[in-house]
Every structure is written in structure tokens, then in C-alpha cells.
Homo-oligomer: A and B are copies of this chain.
Amino acid sequence: MPHRIRPERKQMAPRNPDWEAVVRASFARQGIMGLIGAELCALSPGRCEIRLPFRPDLTQQHGYFHAGVTSTIVDSAGGYAGLTLMPAGAEMLTVEFKLNLLAPADGELLAAEGEVLKSGRNLVITRGEVYAIRGGKATHCASMQQTLMTMHPKEGK
């Protein structure tokens, strides 16, 4: 039994040579990322990391990052992990996700990693982890499991 679950290698090969430019352009169109100050960091086929520095206007009532803010970056990290593997012209939509909050999101920085678990023709399943970083120490503060849907480009276009 493999201990570390990974999709088969053929699933993780990009089908669009411009995958990185496509992902970065889509991220740039997400208005919310500018508002909260999130940055698209590491990107590789089937993986995406988004980082978000702390600001007092991103908080819940105890002064930690709000769970919705955590959701915002980890949902996009999962979605863009999926988009790295899509053919040209395809889009990814979130069908659903489930997020467990493991510890208060208390840090100078949040880092969300999305990773593709399974890439099928119409559905892509991902996992995401979020870390709160303070003084160089990362606390694992959230875990996500997500379902994405591929919107294939219409033929003839």
C-alpha cells in the first residue's frame, strides 16, 4: 500500500505548454486576491501555493485570520493546482470543498498549498493544507478536501 498518495504520473503531466501563464493570468483576474493581498507563489504541475501576509482587516473576532480568508486562499490554491493540468481553453470551477480548522490561524503569514489527488476527465479532486507562520515556525492550521469540475472549451471556438 503506498503510504504517500500520489496520482499516477501520466495524470500529472501538463497538457497545455502555457499552463503557468494561464494560471498566473487567471489569478491576476481574481479581484479578491488583490483586496486581501494574496500572492501566487510556488507553482508546479498539480501543485500551487498561495501566501497571505497578516493584516488586521483579515481577522475574526479574536484577531486571527478569519476562516473565510483561509478558505479563500486554499480554495484558489486547490483550483489552480487543478488548472495546471488542464488542456488549453479549459476552466476549473469549484463544485464543493470541506475545510477542517486544526488550530487558530495565528501568524504573520498564511501559506496555503493545493495538490491534485486525482485528475479525471470532468472532475478533479484536490487536497489543501494551510500553515500559519510566525517567527519562522509553521503551524498546520487547516486541511481541505475539494472537488473541482472542468469546463471544456466549446468546439468550433
Contacts and interface: CB of A to CB of B under 8 A. Distances in A.
Interface of A: 1-2, 4-5, 26-27, 29-32, 34-36, 49, 55-62, 66-69, 71-73, 75-76, 91, 93-103, 111, 113, 117-118, 122-123, 125, 127, 129, 131, 138, 140, 143, 145, 147, 149
A32 B57 contact: yes
Contacts of A73: 68
A123 B149 contact: yes
Contacts of A98: 96-99, 145
A108 to B, nearest CB: 14
Contacts of A143: 5, 117, 125, 127, 145
Nearest to A36: B35
A72 B35 CA distance: 14
Nearest to A123: B95
Q: How many copies does the complex hold?
A: 4
A99 B2 CA distance: 19
B30 A60 contact: yes
A93 B60 CA distance: 10
Q: Closest 9 A-B residue pairs measured CB to CB?
A: A68-B72, A98-B98, A71-B71, A31-B59, A35-B57, A29-B61, A96-B100, A31-B57, A32-B66
A44 B62 CA distance: 23
Contacts of A35: 35-36, 57-58
